[in-house]
Amino acid sequence: MSKTRWVKVVPIKVNVHAWKVQTDGLPTRFNLSRQGMEIESIVCPLCEKMVESTRHLFFSCCLVTELMRLISRWWDMKYKEVNSYQDWLEWLVSIRLPVNQKQASEGNKIVVGEWNDACDCVF
C-alpha cells in the first residue's frame, strides 16, 4: 500500500474520505455485512448489478464510470478506466492539468460526491 497523502488544498474531511477509500474503510453494504450487520441486500443501489464494495462503488460501477467519462470530457482530458485507488493516483499523476486542478482532483472532491449520492440512494 502506498504512503498516505494529505492534500492541503482540500478540506480535511476530503483527505479522510480518500484515506478510507484507499484502505477499504468505508461502511459499504459489503463491509457492513462482513462485520455481521444484517443488510437486506448487499447489491449496489446505483446500478443494482454488483455487490456494493468500495472498489465497485468508486471504480467499476457503470454509473460512476460514466460520471468519470463526463468529468474527463468536461476537463478536456483523456479518460482512462482504473480499477483501484492506486491506479487512479497513477493516472492522476500522468495527466496534464493546472496544479490547483490536479491537487483538487487528488483530494477526491469527486469521490466525496459519489459517496454522498450512494448514501442518498440508501438512506
Break the chain into its structural domains and give their ranges: 12-24+54-122
pLDDT 10s digits, 28-57:
999 999 999 999 999 999 999 999 999 999
* pTM summary value: 0.69
DSSP string, 23-34: TT-S--HHHHHH
Angle between helices 99-106 and 85-94 (to 10 degrees): 180
Cβ atoms of residues 122 and 37 within 8 Å: no
66-71 long-range contacts, Cβ below 8 Å, gap at least 24? Answer: 67/110, 67/114, 68/110, 71/110
DSSP state for residue 78 in the 8-state scheme: -
Q: Which residue(s) pair with 43 in the sheet?
A: 51
Cβ atoms of residues 72 and 79 within 8 Å: yes
Q: What is the pLDDT of residue 52?
A: 95
In this prediction, residues 17-25 reach a mean pLDDT of 88
pLDDT band of residue 108 (cuts 50, 70, 90) is: very low
